[in-house]
Amino acid sequence: MEGVNKVRINQKDLNRIIRNAFDCDVKTGTELTDGWANAAYSLELSDGRSVVLKVAPPKGVKLMRYERNMMKTEVEIMKHFGASGDVPVPRIHFYDESESILPVPYFIMEKLHGYPYNKASDTMTPEQREKVERRLGELNRRINDVKGSRFGLYAFESPHDGSWREAFRWLIGGVLEDGREAGVVLPAQYEEFEREIDQRLPALDGVSEPSLVHWDLWAGNVFVLGGEITGLIDFERALWGDPLIEHYFSHFGNSTSFEQGYGISTMEEDARIRRCLYDLYLDLILAIECSFRQYEDRNHVEWAARNLAEGWERFRSV
């Protein structure tokens, strides 16, 4: 997705980056345009390696409040699972936050075999899709089995991390403040959004243990090959919170196979209210981030506005 948050790296700088990390050169390089936040390049190196370079947004670009320390978050979590072997992730080859070569942080990771599930699923049989989504449920559960000592963003501590209710109120409140500052028009007044959200926040009090949450584990961040998952990517938005906030539990998910793999079948009333809060949180981000990133794809911008309007109506009915 094209937007102002992506750094363009020329061939000279690509070679400088690779020589600094591996003491070899770039044979070929292709920009990966599917990402939404960071710039990414698929590189074939002169030593035979295939890697992906990921580059943080330019410093002058205004980010949303929840977008804190995202590259650090992604690198740390992938290193954790790379060491534990509990979840298949790309190996991190090199991480540079010194800003000595580029004026922004970047990292180089192993290139996964296979294709994003959102692109490959149409070529797969129903049995293969069921197998992949069941396995994804198992892997997502393993991620959530990692426990933390506080709630909130993975690599950014705030004064609101003492409870999940407090942390989530800070997160969704920050998104609304981002929208206010950017002049984004919502389906209702901001004050009405805040009132309706506050009425439902007590449902979060039942979440007492901070779990590691990927939060962005949609099909585009799942790589598959031959009907098997080869790896999971994009942990940059991870947080300590409620596993029910994960993508495949959202109104975009709706996969019985995932739920079977994860080990969940029914939701109590408080859980349904929590899930509606999380749906609204995501729908707000999808709409408001369009102003921050200045997406060129008007179809996506219009879709995000419609999706929020529909999500707002669903939320109010709960």
Q: Look-up: residue for tokens 């959202």?
A: 250
**pLDDT at position 239:** 97
DSSP conformational letter for 153: E
Does residue 261 surpass a pLDDT of 60?
A: yes
Give me the sign of the Cα torsion angle 121, 127, 131, 134: positive
CB 301 within 8 A of CB 287: no
**pLDDT at position 61:** 84
This prediction has a pTM of 0.94
Instruction: Measure the N-to-C terminal CA separation of the chain; round to a whole number of Å.
Output: 33
pLDDT tens digits along 79-115: 999 999 999 999 999 999 999 999 999 999 999 999 9
Does residue 141 surpass a pLDDT of 50?
A: yes
Across the range 117-136, mean pLDDT stands at: 97
DSSP conformational letter for 119: H
**pLDDT at position 4:** 54
**pLDDT at position 171:** 98
pLDDT tens digits along 170-192: 999 999 999 999 999 999 999 99
Does residue 60 surpass a pLDDT of 90?
A: no
Across the range 7-33, mean pLDDT stands at: 92
**pLDDT at position 36:** 62
**pLDDT at position 254:** 84
Please state, in angstroms and rounded to a whole number, the distance separating the CA atoms of residues 108 and 113.
Answer: 16
CB 224 within 8 A of CB 120: yes
Mean pLDDT, all residues of the chain: 94
pLDDT band at 1 (very low <50, low <70, confident <90, very high): very low
CB 22 within 8 A of CB 110: no
Q: In sequence order, what are the residues at sequence separation of 6 or more whose Cβ sits closer than 8 angstroms to the Cβ of residue 47?
A: 22, 24
Does residue 62 surpass a pLDDT of 80?
A: yes
Is residue 265 packed enough to be buried (19+ CB in 10 Å), middle (13-18) or exposed (0-12)? exposed
Does residue 6 surpass a pLDDT of 80?
A: no
